[in-house]
Amino acid sequence: MPRVQEHPEHPEGGRKYGAFQTEIYKDGILKQNLPTVTTDPNKLEEQARKFLDIRSFNYVAGGAGEKATMDANRLAFRQWKMIPRMLRPTTHRDLRVELFGQTFESPLLVAPIGVQTIFHRDKETGVAEIAREIGVPYILSTASSSSIEEVAEANGDGARWYQLYWPQDNEITKSLLRRAKTNGFRVLVVTLDTWALAWRPADLDNAYIPFASGIGDQTGFSDPVFRAKFAKKYDNKTPEDDVFLASREWEADVFSGAAHTWEDLELIKAEWDGPIVLKGIQHVEDAKKAVEAGMHGIVVSNHGGRQLDGAIGSLEVLPEIVDAVGDKLTVLFDSGVRTGVDVIKALCLGAKGVLIGRCADFHYGQTTGES
């Protein structure tokens, strides 16, 4: 990672991201060290396929149905074009952004991605540690293979947000939020589009769902309220005594098939005293409802095409949503992002920050614990 350097327009210093290119050439020419992970975004997925178990690869690469929404996400980016300007004062580039009262070196955030242990042995704790080192906010998924407490310890003094897959059991919801607050998670991201898992052929064809074997259930298995309720219902058993049964119990609460309502947000507001962001907004009217509900931000997202097949590309609706509510709350973006130019396009269309998900997993899955 290039060291932070100071310059007049950016007195607090900033990372010299362009130095990555220089380092790649230098290492290749002088040391014959070539990049472990391809720099070509169009080759990244196929390279990851060679490193990952087929079920792990399908889990991250797959989408809902025929992947029409995934295609729509990429098409939306292709339809917007860059028009460069010349002889502008761009020598010193300042990428800093302020989100919910904190300033970050760039507008990038690590999206909430679950079951990281199927990609790398360091699981979520490894990504949280890296996020701290490079100064990027880390968003922990409820579907984590590390506990809330473990991730907080790994992230140290880094910026961390907590993503909630909203349980039906209010007592469990309250417990998760208490744990997140106690462990320094500052922003709450409530995912709205995954109250039931989608029809995902890549997983179905292998009859693979990691949660069934306890992978990605650590948030629940480590929760004192869930453990107490499980013990009471099943003759003092612990999740470790019967992982399959505990997994089914946890999934039935988190991915119940029953959606929450706008009115239910009052519980979240009562239990969380920091910024609340709703993830999964695709319609202008829903964005307006988020404002009416007193939310602090939204993520314009279709879950990377993993939930609803045939949905609109997220970037396509971003400008309309920003026009409607961008001056009333913080608009963030994800879905279909593959390159730095994609990030620039989302920012130009009004997003204040961009979440990086699937492509980060492709990178993570190709590294070793020592890399």
Q: Which of 283, 296, 303, 363 is catalytic?
A: 303
Termini Cα distance of the chain = 13
**In the structure, how many helices (H) and strands (E) does the chain have?**
16, 12
Bridge partners (DSSP) listed for residue 29: none
- Other residues' Cβ atoms within 10 Å of the Cβ of residue 342: 23
10 is catalytic: no
The DSSP 8-state label assigned to residue 279 in this structure reads E
The DSSP 8-state label assigned to residue 86 in this structure reads -
Give dist(CA 14, CA 12) in Å, integer. Answer: 7
Q: Which amino acid is at 254?
A: V
Question: Six-digit token pair at 337?
Answer: 């992002």
Bridge partners (DSSP) listed for residue 140: 162
Catalytic residues: 303
